[in-house]
Amino acid sequence: MGNKQTIFTQEQLDAYQDCTFFTRKEILRLFHRYRDLAPQLVPLDYSDKPAVTLPYELIGSMPELKDNPFRQRIAEVFSEHGDGNMTLEDFLDMFSVLSEMAPRDLKAYYAFKIYDFNNDDYICKSDLEKTVNKLTRNELTPEEVSLVCEKVIYEADVDNDGKLSLADFQHMIVRAPDFL
Amino acid sequence: FCFLGGFDAEEDLVGSLASMSSNERVKAIQKMPKTMRQKREIRNKVLKEITKKSRHRGAQCTQGVAVSFQRFGNTLSECFQQLQPWHKTLKIIGAEFGTSVLSYFVFLKWLLNLNIFSFLINFGFITIPQFLAAEPNNLSFTGLELLTGAGYFQQTVLYYGFYTNATISKVENGPSYNMQLAYIFTVGIYFVISFLILLFSMARFFSRNFVKLTKAFSVNASKLLCTWDFNITNEKAVKLQQKNLLTQIKEDLTEVNKEVLNFSVKERVGRIATHLLAWVVSLATAVAASTGVYFLSINNLELFMKGYSNDLQRQTAMLVLPVIVSLLNTLIPFFFSWLGHLEKFQTPGQHIYVTIIRNTILKMSIVGILCYYWLNIVATSESQCWETLVGQDIYRLVLVDFIFCLLGSFFGEFLRRIIGTTVCVSLGLPEFDIGRNVLDLIYAQTVTWIGILFSPLLPGIQMIAFLIVFFVKKVSLMRNCQPPRKVWRTAQMTTSFIFLLFCPSFLGVLSVIGVTVWRLKPSEECGPFRGLPSMYASVDEWIQILESYTVSKWVVWIYHNLISSELFFFIISTVVLIVIYLYWQIIQARKTMTKLLRNQILN
């Protein structure tokens, strides 16, 4: 249980353990997963904080994300510049929030950002339409999609401004025990 | 101005974080919805602040100690996580089949832990002391005993009858161990602890999931945005989930048009009549099954009391009752689900609930009639050691139920898959039937709980059975089943199952144990309570002995005035009712407040 690894300094590992929900072993395992995506780009020594970014195509090909209909939005939300290309810290952040140890309101906050396609801090009707299409593989007609979105806004919009804010979304999550 | 305002907010945040204990601080930082870089900056600022403060007070070394202590705590929690078995297996099941199937395996693991705990308690406090005062066993061992539990096992620690009623002491005038008190207190304290565990689990589930049951508010919105199972990583399962959601949305949209259509009076009467008829048929089936079991068991007892013809014949005849009970428990649920298909329910959720309620009524009535038979007929028969007889019956029941569970998995999943892929391809792969399997688990656990008093090592046997069931079900699931196609509200269902485990199952067991301990006369010649008028009389005797010592007068006082006085329980019940009424009024007031606030937001 000593410092047998040479990838991170002890201070870095302590910081990662404090800022994510992972243990030391899990952080090292995640680092190796990150590195396996592109071994030639990622160095084995992170103590001097290299600025390495992996492109979205590699992240999106991971088996955990490859079948998720929202993988592109997830990568965009957690990446530094919103383009889907992730550094190691973004990577650790993403898996920390998606893990089972993260509390529900943290997940709700990020879920809101994932569903907010145009990044304006509100889920408007066009965001909802894109969500519905992703969830049903584009198999509903546009009229049906529109009808569903109107119903959702009608039900969940508490302050009556025609779009869902973070507060509306969190209000809905509290009443939905199946939210994972 | 904004820059200054933001700076102040961050200063406040750093200040408040620095004043927390290190555990709380780590948790608070983990929960912040910021990027890793921002969190690390804040963390560095907080650490600098703490060093500044400690330099003021000159306590620098304590910070170093705190850091190394935290690192030690981290490694300790890592080791503890390693000890959790099946963590990886459960993750794989959740990824391939979704959270609904995962909930069955989590429930099984929880019951397994409960049984391990009960086995350790019984083994430690009752069986090990008994080994020191064991009588020799003269009976021969043939292989059939493993199945019937009789014969050689009758004179072992497996059953109540073997335990001595003496006070065991290894050394003359040394510390002694009163077996009577040990037996009754171990069983009693185990049930109290289980009661508390079940109560807290149920309360936790209710508090999380009950909010949904109050109103059908925002059903569509939550269905769209909150029910996507992000755990699933299997492509086929994802496609199935999408298709599921599509079907649900389409149904909802067509229902919008159907809502206008009201059922005519004639149709409504017809529907109610169908439902009533189905309920009458199911209740009649349950009653018929119970009566059949009752007469069969009376017959069994007569056969046991008189026929000593052939040992092998007698032993196999004893297996008839458990096999019939397990057959009834396996076949009648299929009949119930067929009945449910005939009645047209308005939502599939109603169908699932009604089927579960009917199955529970069936299983609980069978268990109930068996308890009645054991406590009223076997206990008053002229057999030598009725508790051991009951223990043997329960052992056989548990074992045959376990065998039927494995057979059910074999036929229901393995053969069905072969039929579905080769002979009759339209059927497809089978699905894992969560409801039926969970009810089987609850039934097995109920029988084990009843048997603890009569056969202290039964939880150990059930523990091994659950382990084997876990592996068999997991392998069968991975090889034979496909991800579920129907909607299954996991959180609601898990709450209902824990409630079922508590309410008919555990409370029923408590009442059975209560009747046994307080009312029934233990047998004269065997067991730790031989010769006493009831099992509880041993506690009375002990209190009388304690009265003669002045040191323990307070125990006697507590016993006479708190535990066995009715006035005390009356006062406690009144206080509890008053507290419940006050909380209810507070909830009503909060509801009015929520309504007022919501109106304020709207305007």
Return the pLDDT at B288. Answer: 93
Residue B208 in contact with partner chain A when CB distance is under 8 A: yes
Residue A103 contacts B, CB cutoff 8 Å? yes
Q: Give how far Cα B298 sits from Cα of A152, B289, B290, B318, B320, Å.
A: 61, 14, 12, 12, 12
Is the backbone of residue B175 left (phi > 0), alpha (psi -120 to 50) or beta? Answer: beta
B246 and B312, same domain (yes or no): yes
Q: Which residue has the tokens 């029923």?
A: B508
Residue B167 bridge partners (DSSP): B178
Q: Which of A68, A110, A144 faces B33 most closely, judged by CB atoms?
A: A110
Q: Which A residues, 106 through 145, put their C-beta within 8 Å of a C-beta on chain B?
A: 106, 109-111, 115, 128, 131-132, 135-137, 139-140, 144
> Both tokens of residue B99?
């959270």
Domain boundary residue, one of B487, B512, B532: B532
Q: Are residues B268 and B384 in the same domain?
A: yes
Smallest Cα distance from B368 to chain A, Å: 34
Instruction: List b or e across B286-295, with b for residues whose CB sees 16 or more CB atoms inside 10 angstroms.
Output: beebbeebbe
Per-residue pLDDT tens over the stretch B429-477 = 888 888 889 999 999 999 999 999 888 889 999 999 999 999 999 998 8
Q: What are phi and psi of B533, to 5 degrees?
A: -70, -30
pLDDT, residue A79, reads: 84
Tell me what pLDDT residue A92 has. Answer: 87
Q: What CATH number does domain A104-179 carry, 3.30.1330.10, 3.20.20.330, 1.10.238.10, 1.10.10.60?
A: 1.10.238.10
pLDDT in tens, B308-357: 556 667 777 778 888 999 999 988 988 888 888 888 777 777 888 888 99
- Which among B36, B229, B245 is the nearest to A92, CB-wise? B36
Q: Would B65 be classed as within a structural domain? A: no
Bridge partner list, A86: A54
Q: Reply yes or no on whether the pLDDT at B234 is more than 50.
A: yes
Size of interface A-B (CB pairs under 8 A): 152
Q: How many separate helices (H) and strands (E) can be counted in chain B?
A: 24, 2
Are the beta carbons of A175 and B29 separated by less than 8 Å? no
Burial of B174: CB neighbours in 10 Å, binned 0-12, 13-18, 19+: exposed
Residue B214: what pLDDT? 46
Give the pLDDT band (50/70/90) at residue B221.
low
CA dist A146 → A119, A132, A165, B538 (Å)? 21, 9, 19, 74
Tokens of B165: 């009623």
- How many domains does chain B divide into? 2
DSSP state of B168: E
Residue type, B163: Y
Which pLDDT belongs to residue B215?
47
Among B473, B319, B362, CA closest to B407: B473
Alpha-carbon gap, residue A158 to A176, rounded angstroms = 16
Q: Is A67 in CB contact (< 8 Å) with chain B?
A: yes
* Cβ distance of B33 and A151 shorter than 8 Å: no
pLDDT, average across residues B22-36: 80
> Are residues B116 and B14 part of one domain?
no
Which residue in the set A103, A139, A172 is minimally distant from B225, CB to CB? A172
Gap between the Cα atoms of B472 and B141, Å rounded: 29
Residue B256: the pLDDT is: 57
Tens of pLDDT, residues B160-212: 777 777 777 666 666 777 888 888 889 999 999 999 999 998 888 887 776 55
DSSP-derived letter for residue A54 is B
Give chain A positions within 8 Å (CB) of B74. 17, 23-24
SS3 B520: coil
Give the residue ranges of DSSP H helices in chain A: 10-19, 24-37, 56-60, 71-78, 88-98, 104-115, 125-136, 142-156, 166-174
Give the amino acid at B189.
I
- Res B432: pLDDT: 84
Statement to judge: residues B41 and B135 lie in one domain: no
| Whether the Cβ atoms of residue B508 and residue B456 lie closer than 8 Å to each other | no
Output the CA angle B86-B235-B422, nearest 5 degrees: 90
pLDDT > 90 fraction of chain B, expressed in percent and rounded: 23
Q: Which residue has the tokens 């309360």?
A: B203
Q: Degrees (nearest 5) of the Cα angle B294, B373, B139?
A: 110
The partner residues of A164 in beta bridges, in order of sequence, read A123
Question: What is the domain range of residue B393?
Answer: 98-532
Residue with tokens 């990577």: A91
Q: How far apart are CA B557 and CA B536, in angstroms?
A: 18
Residues paired with B431 in a beta bridge: B482
Looking at B512, B532, B552, the residue that finishes a domain is: B532
Q: CA-CA distance, B327 to B356, in Å (whole number)?
A: 18
Q: Closest Cα of chain B to A23: distance in Å?
A: 6
Contact state of B78 with A23 under an 8 Å Cβ cutoff: yes
Same domain, B465 and B381: yes
Say yes or no: ipTM exceeds 0.85: no
Selecting from B43, B490, B601 the residue whose C-beta is nearest the C-beta of A178 gives B490
Q: What is the mean pLDDT of chain B?
A: 81
Q: Return the DSSP state at A86.
A: B
Q: Residues of chain B with pLDDT > 70: what percent?
A: 87
> Nearest Cα to B409, choosing from B108, B148, B95?
B108
Average pLDDT over residues B286-301: 90
| B27 and B118 housed in the same domain | no
pTM of the predicted model as reported, rounded to 2 decimal places: 0.84
Residues of B within 8 A of A168 (CB-CB) are none
Amino acid at B269: V
Q: Considering Cα of A147, then A152, then A157, then A158, what sign does the dihedral take?
A: positive
Rounded Cα gap, residues B440 and B330, in angstroms: 9
Residue B244 has pLDDT above 90, yes or no: no
CB contact under 8 A, A98 and B235: no
Q: SS3 for B324?
A: helix
**pLDDT tens per residue across all 180 residues of chain A:** 455 677 888 888 888 888 888 888 888 888 888 888 888 888 888 777 777 888 888 888 888 888 888 888 888 888 888 888 888 888 888 888 888 888 888 888 888 888 888 888 888 888 888 888 888 877 778 888 888 888 888 877 777 788 888 888 887 777 776 666
Encode B135-203 in three state secondary structure: CCCCCCCCCCHHHHCCHHHHHCCCCHHHCCCCEECCCCCCCCEEHHHHHHHHHHHHHHHHHHHHHHHHH
CA angle B323, B328, B332 (to 5 degrees): 155
Element (H, E) at B167: strand B167-168
Nearest to A78 by CA among A103, A105, A98: A98
Residue from B366, B374, B373, B377 nearest B326 by CA: B366
For domain A10-98, the CATH architecture is: Orthogonal Bundle (1.10)
Task: Please measure the distance between the N-terminal and C-terminal CA atoms of chain A and give it in whole angstroms.
Answer: 34
Domain A10-98 matches domain A104-179 at the CATH topology level: yes
Strand pairing partners for B482? B431
The better pLDDT of the pair B477, B66 is held by B477
Alpha carbon of B196: minimum distance to chain A alpha carbons (Å): 24
Helix (H) or strand (E) holding B476: helix B458-480
Instruction: For chain A, give every domain's residue range.
Output: 10-98, 104-179
Residue of B nearest to A63 (CA): B233
Nearest CA in chain B to A135: B242
